[in-house]
């Protein structure tokens, strides 16, 4: 029978109310899987953490990845909270060297609420991980019966069951009657990134109306900063003052420019004013392409952990951020 390894890290799916307080992580791997009844797969499960996903860190994710790689399993399911689930999925997509599918899931409703969605999401994740057609697709996300690619998925609502979307690409598929229905073939995957040095900081700074660039300059000057992701307006535009700051930073620090809109790419050659995408590229900034600021931060952190220099960072974003 197909063997699926399951690592649980906490999050809403593992939470239940405590008297006089809100929901907290209380359920481990055994409790989560025990409520699913008979399963069509064999499961090897372990509780690796019991935290809210706002407290997720790279050390925990590296430990989770390495645990999954050590198991002689046909698929790997990671269970965590939804607040940073899109970032975990993208990190695993970048760093997962195997053709074995890795599926990330969680829940929007904790076990103490009416109609908790965790059991169905976990059952669907097992189904997706066990399907041979999931092989070679990298990291996938399964919630609310949808199957998303890690590169595109985004939490777009704070509380709804359909909080996760993949605009503009759309979901890869759906789970219906305990079977996966894929809508799109699996595209070629870039080689997995390797690296363990996730020390230091990569802050995300969002720019907006009447921004002279002082916050960006202040963030870049903090000890331990190894790079900056700038969530720019529109298709990758900043004020003239912010552009002046970028020009001063790029010689000593990687600056990646993403769009703050949450959908659509940064452009490369449409506008030419000071602070436009063209001028930022000419200064030496790297454009995130179709990656939003959250995903751009994960990619930059992972490239830096792998020892990438400025040219390798530019190549990495062109390879993973662009569509061609």
Instruction: Point out the residues that are catalytic.
Output: 12
Q: Among candidates 284, 169, 289, which has minimal Cα distance to 236? A: 289
Q: Which residues, at least 6 apart from 53, have a Cβ–Cβ distance to it below 8 Å?
A: 9, 10, 11, 80, 81, 82, 83, 84, 85, 88, 106
Contact (CB, 8 A) for 237 and 271: yes
Structural contact between residues 44 and 3, judged by C-beta atoms closer than 8 angstroms: yes
139 secondary structure, DSSP code: E
If we measure between CA atoms, which residue out of 302, 319, 317 comes closest to residue 88?
302
Beta strands in 191-252 (DSSP E): 204-206, 228-232
Long-range own/partner contacts, residues 16-23 (CB < 8 A, 24 or more apart): 16/110, 16/111, 16/112, 17/110, 17/112, 23/110, 23/111, 23/112
The contacts of residue 209 (CB under 8 Å, 6+ apart) are none
Tokens of 227: 């790079």
Quote the crossing angle between the two packed helices 293-305 and 310-321, to the nearest 10°. 140
Structural tokens at position 20:
């006089």
Maximum pairwise Cα distance, the chain: 62
Long-range CB pairs of 305-309, under 8 A, 24+ apart, other chains included = 305/58, 305/193, 305/195, 305/196, 305/197, 305/198, 306/193, 306/194, 306/195, 307/195, 307/197
């Amino acid at each position: 029978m197909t063997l699926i390894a399951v690592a649980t890290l906490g999050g809403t799916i593992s939470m239940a109310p405590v008297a006089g307080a809100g929901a907290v992580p209380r359920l481990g791997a055994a409790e989560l899987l025990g409520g699913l009844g008979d399963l069509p797969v064999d499961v090897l499960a372990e509780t690796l953490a019991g935290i809210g996903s706002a407290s997720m860190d790279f050390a925990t994710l590296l430990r989770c990845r390495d645990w999954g790689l050590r198991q002689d399993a046909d698929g790997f399911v990671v269970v965590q909270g939804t607040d940073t689930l899109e970032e975990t999925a993208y990190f695993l997509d970048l760093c997962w060297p195997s053709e074995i599918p890795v599926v990330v899931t969680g829940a929007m409703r904790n076990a103490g609420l009416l109609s908790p969605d965790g059991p169905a999401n976990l059952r669907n994740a097992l189904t997706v991980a066990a399907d041979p057609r999931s092989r070679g697709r990298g990291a996938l996300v399964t919630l609310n019966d949808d199957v998303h690619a890690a590169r595109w998925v985004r939490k777009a609502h704070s509380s709804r069951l359909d909080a996760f979307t993949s605009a503009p690409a759309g979901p890869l598929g759906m789970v219906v009657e305990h079977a996966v229905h894929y809508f799109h073939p699996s595209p070629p995957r870039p080689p997995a990134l390797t690296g363990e040095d996730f020390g230091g900081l990569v802050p995300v700074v969002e720019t907006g109306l009447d921004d002279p660039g002082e916050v960006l300059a202040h963030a870049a000057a903090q000890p331990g900063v190894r790079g900056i992701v700038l969530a720019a307006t529109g298709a990758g535009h900043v004020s003239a003052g912010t552009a002046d700051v970028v020009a001063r930073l790029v010689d000593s620090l990687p600056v990646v420019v993403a769009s703050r809109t949450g959908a659509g790419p940064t452009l490369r050659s449409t506008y030419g004013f000071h602070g436009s995408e063209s001028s930022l590229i000419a200064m030496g900034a790297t454009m995130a392409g179709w990656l939003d600021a959250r995903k751009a931060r994960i990619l930059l952190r992972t490239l830096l952990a792998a020892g990438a220099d400025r040219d390798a960072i530019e190549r990495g974003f062109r390879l993973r951020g662009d569509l061609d």
